[in-house]
Chains A and B, each alone.
Chain A
Amino acid sequence: MNKFFQSLFSGDKLVIGIPYGWFILLVAIPLLIVMKISLSEMEATSVSNMISWVDGFPTLKLNFANYQFIFSDALYVKTYISSLKYAVLTTLICLAIGYPFAYFMARSPKHLQPMLLMLIMLPFWTSFLLRIYAWKTLLVSNGVINNILMSLHIIDSPIAMMNNSFSLIIGMVYSYLPFMILPLYANLSKLDLRYLEAAADLGASPFKAFWLITVPLSKAGIIAGSMLVFIPAVGEFVIPELLGGPDTLMIGRVLWDEFFSNNDWPMAAAVAVVMIALILVPMAILNRAEAKLEEAKS
């Protein structure tokens, strides 16, 4: 018995135990609670008990109605698809803008790089909400951009840029771009330039060398950046709320409505669980690809 406790509290187990404890306490248990709520029924102001006593025996009552409703109701399905669509679009645009950005940062003179990194992080010094509101003043019909274009007589009537998918994508790309650039920069700045010289030596033009050497070797950075953008983008609530419109359906807003407007906690919990499942699938695929890359390196 003594030995058992000794091995239980030995140093290495304790070290591994801390992150596991953290994970169980702050991820696994809350997630289980959310799942439990999603399978319960709403009773007036509180959630029903899952286990009730019938004739002295405990009876487990599971309510799958919320899930059935989610998959049968066209609105939910449409919202999930539209959420994924905006998240994928945001990820791709961030990648398209972020990759050249990170590439030139990694290639710029060594003494300039800390300053460039600083500039990438600079927006974080201002409140996120403030920055999203700032976009609002730029994009609205009588906002800065429309006013300038009209005073220059380039357009006659204001362009509708606000409360539609355009403003939503602008806001999402703007907010998530640093999360794409930072891992890509970290990866690209470590690229051994001799590989590019070897490619040139073997007859690859700079353009070919970029596609055949630089891009495949930065795959880990692309995956990390895409994960950092895609995952929060799927569940994004604030940006669609402030910059989106009636047509830009996103699951974060539905979640908010279920919780706070309808006060239907089990339904909201079910929506959240399905969302997690939707994110988990692409994440598992990307994770696997990343693990493969790591394996190839060691």
Chain B
Amino acid sequence: MATAPKSQTENKSEKEVLLRVEGITKIYDGTVKAVDDVSLEVSKGEIFGLLGGSGCGKSTLLRMMAGFERPTKGKIYLAGQDITDVPPYQRPINMMFQSYALFPHLSVWENIAFGLKRDNMPKGEIATRVEEMLSLAQLNKFAQRKPHQLSGGQQQRVALARSLAKRPQLLLLDEPLGALDKKLRETTQLELVNIIEKVGVTCVLVTHDQEEAMTMCSRIAVMAEGYFLQIGEPDTIYEMPNSRQVADFIGNVNMFEGVVDEDEPDHVTINCAECTHYVGHGISGHSGQAVGVALRPEKIMLSKDKPIGKYNWCEGEVVEIVYFGDHTTYHLKTPTGMVIKAQEINNTRDLSCGLTWGDHAYMHWNDLAMVVLTH
């Protein structure tokens, strides 16, 4: 998993806050809580991600920022101004819609010029700005085409150019890559980030795709059932999830259930049915507390020889081998019945580990590889 461009977040504390969401709640039909008392701050120049499964409230939150939905409670501020009750057509915010919503009866040129014309910009200036946007999105050749004459990737770039044409203070992206196939998505992701950084616009991005959020965003809010589970930089969310739910949602994870045994300031040990974990740092829990131990598959090493020592290893039988080309994921069944996933990088061309179905193997990991989760 790639990490996000760091440069944008390094001086976060010094940067001014552009968007402030304060205690936003959205209740549909008097009973359904789509968004539940959410607050967040987005700094200027940030690409902020809202990540969650379908129905978690991320799109509703985005639509409230755009002005399509009125919050039931709470306030939204843009550059210090309360915009909660400002209609969408008066907000200096533009949105790139999921599946684009390009006007089918207008050409690419007219689609991009649509917002500029609404501002009564002089004709000459509109032409200059549209040309500028066309070059930015590499669409010059397609200016006179209609949206249906373009490929998915080209349509996506038109949508981006249209949403950037008015030079909005804030750009909202609703599943910007959702309509593209996997291969195209990877190249478009970087293209999109490059264009956004070139323009320097602040973004809020909604996605259900964790990879997309990881690669594009400087900070991510993981959402479920209308509230934030965790807000942080991509690597923080991945390596230091604050709950089982986040650990489970982002990437693959092996979750051991255990009880804290030794609780020292510099280390703890946790007894699980499968093994005893030795964690090389202190935790906020106490001896005798039931905890979860999350361990990512890529942090597990496999061997046929029994590891030395009594901590941080367990044994299992290979029940499944999933080959991805660049890496292989082995599923191992422990004597207790738990299936543990271990990922091995295929850094040589000979078959790694030499493990096959039914083989007995040992898994081991170092004492900083796991995350202890108290809830």
Contacts and interface: CB of A to CB of B under 8 A. Distances in A.
A195 B166 contact: no
Interface string A260-275: 0000000000000000
Nearest to B146: A296
Given A208-B118, A297-B148, A201 B104 contact: no
B105 A202 contact: no
Interface string B211-253: 0000000000000000000000000000000000000000000
Given A202-B115, A203-B115, A208-B118, A197 B101 contact: yes
A213 B110 CA distance: 12
A204 B166 CA distance: 13
Given A202-B115, A208-B118, A296-B148, A217 B88 contact: no
Contact of B88 (A200, A208, A213): A200
Nearest to A201: B95
Nearest to A213: B103
Contact of B114 (A199, A205, A219, A298): A199
A201 to B, nearest CB: 5
A281 B99 CA distance: 40
B89 A204 contact: yes
B101 A202 contact: no
A55 interface: no
A291 to B, nearest CB: 15
Interface in A159-210: 192, 194-195, 197-206, 208
A142 B321 CA distance: 93
Nearest to B105: A216
B362 interface: no
A201 B94 CA distance: 6
| B: contact size bracket | 20 to 34
A202 B66 contact: no
A203 B99 CA distance: 20
Interface in A67-97: none
B162 interface: yes
B103 A198 contact: yes
A200 B101 CA distance: 12
Contacts of A197: 66, 68, 88, 97, 101
Contact of B105 (A194, A203, A206, A217): A217
B146 A202 contact: no
Contacts of A297: 104, 148
A203 B101 contact: no
A165 B44 CA distance: 67
A201 B95 CA distance: 7
A203 B119 contact: yes
A201 B101 CA distance: 11
Contacts of A204: 89, 114, 118
Interface in B150-175: 162-163, 166
Contacts of A217: 104-105
B285 interface: no
B162 A202 contact: yes
Contact of B166 (A202, A216, A296): A202
B101 A296 contact: no
Contact of B97 (A194, A205, A296, A298): A194
B89 A205 contact: yes
B2 to A, nearest CB: 31
A233 to B, nearest CB: 28
B250 to A, nearest CB: 30
A241 B101 CA distance: 51
Interface string B95-118: 101010111110000000011001
Given A194-B97, A296-B148, A201 B89 contact: yes
Given A213-B103, A296-B105, A203 B95 contact: no
A200 B115 CA distance: 9
B180 to A, nearest CB: 18
Nearest to A194: B101
A195 B101 contact: yes
A282 B119 CA distance: 38
B87 interface: yes
User: In this complex, which of B87, B105, B148 has the most chain A Cβ atoms within 10 angstroms of its Cβ?
Assistant: B105
B115 A296 contact: no
Contacts of B101: 192, 194-195, 197-198
A205 B120 CA distance: 13
Contacts of A194: 97, 99, 101
B118 A195 contact: no
Nearest to B118: A203
The 3 closest A-B pairs by CB, nearest first: A202-B115, A203-B118, A198-B101
21 contacts: A192-B101, A194-B99, A197-B88, A198-B95, A198-B102, A200-B68, A201-B89, A201-B93, A202-B94, A202-B115, A202-B166, A203-B89, A203-B118, A203-B166, A204-B89, A206-B89, A208-B118, A213-B103, A217-B105, A296-B148, A297-B104
Interface of A: 192, 194-195, 197-206, 208, 212-213, 216-217, 219, 296-298
Interface of B: 66-68, 87-90, 93-95, 97, 99, 101-105, 114-115, 118-119, 146, 148, 162-163, 166
Given A197-B101, A201-B163, A217-B105, 17 more contacts: A194-B97, A195-B101, A198-B97, A198-B101, A198-B103, A200-B88, A201-B66, A201-B95, A202-B114, A203-B115, A204-B89, A205-B89, A206-B89, A213-B103, A216-B105, A296-B105, A296-B148
